[in-house]
């Protein structure tokens, strides 16, 4: 009997029964299910003709209706044109700004970089509302000032409710800040001697940037551009608010409208979701292919880091970048504060436009306090679940030799190619069509799962970059002393990667509080967070309470981003590149 017991412990079957192997199988099963099953549900729903919850038939009617939809082609061109325009504009500006911050003696460049970090975390809806106050057609504050100063101006000069308005709000709210955030660390790794040689040969600062720095940075620039195109094609909130006036729909807003109309067209929306994912897949494949073929070292034995002297341009450049930072961070915050005290949102020309009644009414409303409570639960719950899950996945893919760990890593990349609105619709279909999961619908767990899944790519990759830097000798010493893999992870590895884990938690918290697209179909009355409450207010034209909700979201996310920046700088992780 003892011999048989010993044999069971030494056979491969016995090894698979170990706790570590069991947890690995459980981990890959849970993540695989959450990533793949909602997509499978969308595919199945696309062939179910008829209203959900009633008797349906199997057929291709939904596909026929989707391709017959007159808005499909216009949504495709709007998606591609808006994405391409904002990426090209922000890429040119982002390379220049990142170079000035990372490679020159610009005064206060560290603080200016913090400003772009904060802008990166600022949620889209509150920022959009701020720009509506500033450039919202005839009632926009900038247009009113221009018409008062120049009587010959009779029509609004700036209008965010337009194609270019959507591009502008995207650039200043997220697209430009993320370019600076990703490119500045890569620029810091360039050998300064290359720029010095260029300047010694008589090249100007602009010539050095365009002929030396940009060609060296091409791999990083292409990677950032491909990732930016993926994110741009997934955009949702800004187009939903600013697009209706000019009848501008992108794929994500078209899917949203099909589900929200009466009766909801779940089948047609599922078809468009599948087409949407198919459209994004080539960009994801190109990103991985290009990154794998163009990965190269930038640090060598003769590496030198010396900043370039801006000379007489030092203070003018500081003024320009400070103005940019104030426009993308302080200005939206100030405008939201102003908007929250207006009698009618955007009506500056009233005799006495100011009031505090909106604040008094909002603070006494149960839906606001209930949604604030839900947002905090969603934020903290997503952060805790995310930190644990991201750390475990990163450790398994980097430090273990389990079979199919590469497949687990691939699963963490899949949400990158799934737009938030598609994730939301997939989970909605899964929870409504599967009886075993139906009781979970309407709870906070649904939102937490969706938020964590949408953040898994960035979270896992950030922790992996920290894990790669740790020598395996530390874990081997623990194993030699009799420690198990779980004990070693908890006592040795986790304390060393704690800073990056905390940063991912803070990022997940900030995302959870402000996210819209990922939970747009899932945030119902009982579990409705602030972001969905604001969307409901905006969709119904109630801009005054929506401004107050947006201000609360903005303050919470800014505090979370600043805390993440402090932790990042303190532990030397601020320059980690998330790719």
Q: Which residue has the tokens 């199997």?
A: 58
Ranges 31-40, 202-211, 236-245, 449-458: which has the least confidence: 202-211
CA 225/CA 339 separation, integer angstroms = 35
> In whole angstroms, what separates CA 288 from the centre of its chain?
19
Whether the predicted pLDDT of 123 surpasses 50: yes
pLDDT band at 11 (very low <50, low <70, confident <90, very high): very low
Could you read off the pLDDT of 216-238 as tens digits, one per residue? 777 777 777 877 887 888 888 89
Whether the predicted pLDDT of 73 surpasses 50: yes
pLDDT band at 6 (very low <50, low <70, confident <90, very high): very low
> In the structure encoding, which two tokens stand for residue 179, read together?
């370019």
CA 420/CA 34 separation, integer angstroms = 14
pLDDT for the residue numbered 300 = 43
pLDDT band at 378 (very low <50, low <70, confident <90, very high): very high
pLDDT band at 1 (very low <50, low <70, confident <90, very high): very low
Average pLDDT over residues 372-382: 92
Choice between 552 and 301, residue whose per-residue pLDDT is larger: 552
Name the percent of the chain lying above pLDDT 70. Answer: 83
Choice between 567 and 375, residue whose per-residue pLDDT is larger: 375
pLDDT for the residue numbered 403 = 74
Whether the predicted pLDDT of 26 surpasses 50: yes
As a whole number of angstroms, the longest Cα–Cα distance in the chain is 100
pLDDT for the residue numbered 165 = 93
Name the percent of the chain lying above pLDDT 90. Answer: 12
Backbone angles phi, psi at 516, to 5 degrees: -125, -60
Structural contact between residues 132 and 200, judged by C-beta atoms closer than 8 angstroms: no
Whether the predicted pLDDT of 285 surpasses 70: yes
pLDDT for the residue numbered 287 = 64
Whether the predicted pLDDT of 579 surpasses 50: no
| H helix runs in 294-351, sequence order | 314-325, 331-340
pLDDT for the residue numbered 4 = 40
**Number of helices followed by number of strands (H, E) in the chain:** 29, 2
Whether the predicted pLDDT of 429 surpasses 70: yes
CA 524/CA 155 separation, integer angstroms = 41
CA 311/CA 201 separation, integer angstroms = 18
What's the mean pLDDT when you consider all of the chain? 79
Q: What CATH architecture is 10-47+357-579? A: Orthogonal Bundle (1.10)
Whether the predicted pLDDT of 573 surpasses 50: no
Structural contact between residues 176 and 90, judged by C-beta atoms closer than 8 angstroms: yes
pLDDT for the residue numbered 171 = 94
Average pLDDT over residues 467-481: 68
Average pLDDT over residues 364-387: 89
CA 240/CA 424 separation, integer angstroms = 16
What count of residues does the chain have? 579
pLDDT for the residue numbered 475 = 67
Average pLDDT over residues 486-490: 69
pLDDT for the residue numbered 13 = 38
- Nearest CA-CA partner of 195 in 345, 306, 112: 306
Mention the CATH class of domain 71-298+315-339: mainly alpha
> In the structure encoding, which two tokens stand for residue 116, read together?
């772009």
pLDDT for the residue numbered 17 = 42
Q: Report the DSSP beta bridge partners of residue 159.
A: 136
pLDDT for the residue numbered 406 = 77
Whether the predicted pLDDT of 158 surpasses 80: yes
Whether the predicted pLDDT of 290 surpasses 70: no
Could you read off the pLDDT of 180-223 as tens digits, one per residue? 888 887 777 666 666 666 666 766 666 766 777 777 777 777 77
Enumerate the domain spans of the chain: 10-47+357-579, 71-298+315-339
Whether the predicted pLDDT of 121 surpasses 60: yes
Choice between 22 and 48, residue whose per-residue pLDDT is larger: 48
Same fold for the domain at 10-47+357-579 and the one at 71-298+315-339? yes
pLDDT for the residue numbered 293 = 58
pLDDT band at 16 (very low <50, low <70, confident <90, very high): very low
């Amino acid at each position: 009997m003892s011999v048989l017991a010993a044999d069971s412990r030494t056979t491969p079957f016995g090894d698979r029964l170990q706790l570590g192997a069991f947890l690995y199988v459980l981990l890959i099963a849970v993540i695989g299910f959450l990533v793949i099953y909602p997509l499978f549900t969308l595919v199945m729903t696309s062939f179910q003709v008829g209203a959900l919850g009633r008797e349906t038939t199997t057929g291709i009617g939904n596909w026929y209706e989707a391709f017959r939809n007159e808005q499909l082609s216009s949504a495709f061109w709007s998606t591609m044109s808006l994405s391409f325009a904002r990426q090209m504009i922000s890429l040119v500006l982002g390379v220049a700004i990142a170079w000035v911050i990372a490679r020159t003696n610009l005064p206060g460049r560290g603080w200016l970089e913090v400003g772009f970090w904060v802008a990166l975390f600022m949620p889209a809806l509150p920022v959009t509302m701020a720009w509506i106050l500033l450039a919202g057609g005839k009632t926009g504050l900038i247009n009113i000032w221009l018409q008062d100063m120049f009587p010959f101006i009779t029509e609004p000069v700036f209008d965010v409710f337009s194609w270019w308005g959507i591009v502008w709000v995207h650039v200043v709210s997220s697209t430009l800040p993320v370019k600076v955030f990703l490119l500045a660390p890569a620029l810091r790794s360039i050998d300064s001697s290359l720029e010095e040689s260029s300047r010694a040969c008589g090249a100007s600062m602009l010539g050095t940037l365009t002929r030396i720095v940009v060609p060296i940075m091409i791999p990083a620039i292409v990677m950032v551009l491909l990732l930016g195109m993926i994110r741009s094609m997934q955009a949702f909130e800004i187009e939903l608010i600013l697009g209706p006036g000019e009848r501008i729909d992108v794929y994500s807003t078209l899917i949203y409208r099909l589900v929200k109309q009466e009766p909801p067209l779940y089948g047609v929306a599922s078809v468009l979701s599948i087409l949407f994912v198919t459209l994004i897949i080539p960009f994801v494949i190109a990103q991985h292919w290009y990154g794998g073929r163009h990965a190269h070292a930038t640090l060598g034995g003769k590496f030198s880091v010396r900043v370039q002297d801006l000379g007489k341009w030092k203070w003018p450049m500081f003024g320009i970048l400070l103005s940019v930072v104030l426009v993308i961070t302080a200005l939206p915050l100030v405008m939201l504060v102003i908007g929250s005290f207006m009698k009618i949102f955007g009506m500056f020309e009233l005799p006495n436009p100011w009031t505090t009644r909106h604040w008094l009414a909002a603070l006494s409303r149960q839906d606001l306090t209930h949604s604030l409570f839900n947002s905090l639960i969603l934020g903290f719950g997503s952060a805790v679940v995310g930190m644990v899950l991201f750390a475990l996945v990163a450790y398994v893919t980097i430090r273990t030799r389990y079979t199919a760990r590469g497949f687990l890593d691939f699963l963490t990349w899949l949400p990158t190619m799934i737009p938030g609105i598609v994730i939301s619709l997939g989970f909605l279909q899964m929870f409504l069509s599967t009886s075993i999961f139906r009781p979970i619908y309407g709870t906070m767990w649904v939102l937490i799962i969706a938020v964590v899944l949408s953040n898994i790519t960035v979270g896992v990759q950030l922790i992996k970059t920290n894990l790669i830097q740790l020598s395996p000798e530390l874990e081997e010493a623990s194993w030699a002393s009799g420690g198990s893999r779980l004990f070693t992870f908890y006592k040795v590895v986790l304390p060393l990667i704690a800073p990056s884990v905390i940063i991912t938690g803070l990022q997940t918290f900030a995302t959870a509080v402000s996210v819209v697209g990922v939970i747009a179909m899932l945030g119902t009355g009982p579990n409705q967070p602030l972001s969905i409450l604001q969307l409901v207010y905006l969709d119904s034209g109630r801009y005054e309470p929506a401004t107050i909700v947006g201000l609360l979201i903005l303050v919470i996310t800014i505090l979370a981003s600043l805390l993440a920046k402090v932790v990042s700088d303190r532990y030397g992780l601020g320059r980690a590149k998330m790719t």
